Amino acid sequence: MSHQQEYYYNEHDESQVKKILKTKKKKKLKRRMKILLFLIVFVCIGYYFLSDYSKVKSISVTGNEEVSETEILENISVNKSSFYLLVNTDHLETEVKALPMVKKAKVSKDLLGNIKIEIEEAEKVAYCNIGKTTYVIDELGDVVETTDENVIASLQATPRMTGFKDLKFLEKFAKEYVRLPELIKSQTSDIVYSPVTADETRMKFLMDDGKILYLRVEDMVEQLSKFDYEANKTAYSDQCVFKFEGKNVYMEKCK
């Protein structure tokens, strides 16, 4: 005797199937929306970078007198064709501060695509003529050629360096000179490259009070850092020449 299998209809089974189908449909729709949103964002980003809205609108420079705006703009990695969002202000500051005569630099940008470069120039501390070329020495020890008549006129208030024939030697001297005590630098009127056979780097400092100091470039920072100029010129008021040789200072009477 065979038994016929009976199927019992269950409403719960039907609702589960519908629920699963509905969930799958929602997932497909959600996936499609994500793809569509991604494409929209991708197209917008592409349009932005291809348009002028993504580029730097302007670059302004303030605080410069000796350093020309053209020189600054030619020596930085950003221009009006650069992508504004990719501009790194810290990197720009480093580039600007690397330029001669620039002591400090601050770079900022606004939301409209404008970049502002503010600089503080280094002070001029001396100047030198080699041939027909005038060089400025700044407080950082940089040596910069100048043809600006206003700058050249302003240099008359700083010590003049003469006798130099070689730019590299001038640059070497400048790096040492800026390290000298401020008292010495403030009372120096002229500096003459005055080599002798036994001393190829001897310098002659002419002081405002008429004293003369003979120093070697390599030793002058250490020697003058230990030498109390004010006290010695008072104690030896009848001595006009101070020759620094090693650890010794030799003096000559005023004529």
pLDDT of amino acid 158: 94
Query: What's the whole-number average pLDDT of the chain?
Result: 86
Per-position DSSP letters for the chain, written without gaps between them: ---PPP----HHHHHHHHHHHHHHHHHHHHHHHHHHHHHHHHHHHHHHHHSGGGB--EEEEES-SSS-HHHHHHTSS--TTSBGGG--HHHHHHHHHTSTTEEEEEEEE-TTSEEEEEEEEPPEEEEEEETTEEEEEETTS-EEEE--HHHHHHGGGS-EEES---HHHHHHHHHHHTTS-HHHHHTEEEEEE--BTTBTTEEEEEETTS-EEEEETTTHHHHHHH--HHHHHHHTTTEEEEEEETTEEEEEE--
Rounded to the nearest 10°, the torsion over CA 180, 186, 189, 190 is 20
**Amino acid occupying residue 151:** V
pLDDT in tens, 14-24: 566 667 767 77
pLDDT for 100 equals: 87
Write out pLDDT tens, residues 93-145.
999 999 989 999 999 998 888 999 999 999 999 999 999 999 999 999 999 99
pLDDT score, position 31? 81
Contacts of 181 (CB under 8 A, 6+ apart): 224, 225, 229
> What mean pLDDT do residues 29-34 have?
80
pLDDT, tens digit, for every residue of 191-229?
Answer: 999 999 888 999 999 999 999 999 999 999 999 998 999
What does the pLDDT average to over 238-253? 90
pLDDT tens digits along 165-187: 999 999 999 999 999 999 999 99
User: For position 169, what pLDDT does the model report?
Assistant: 95
Can you name the residues that pair with 116 across neighbouring β-strands? 60, 108
- The CA distance from 20 to 158, in Å, is 89
**Are 197 and 189 contacting, i.e. CB atoms less than 8 angstroms apart?**
no
Report, as an integer, the average pLDDT of 4-20: 59
State the Cα–Cα distance between residues 56 and 84, nearest whole angstrom: 5
Beta bridge partners of 206: 190, 212
- The C-alpha atoms of residue 93 and residue 102 are separated, in whole angstroms, by 11
Cβ 64 vs Cβ 44: under 8 Å: no
**Closest by CA position to 56, among listed 109, 96, 92, 105:** 109
Percent of the chain with pLDDT over 70: 88
Q: For the full predicted model, state whether its pTM sits above 0.85.
A: no
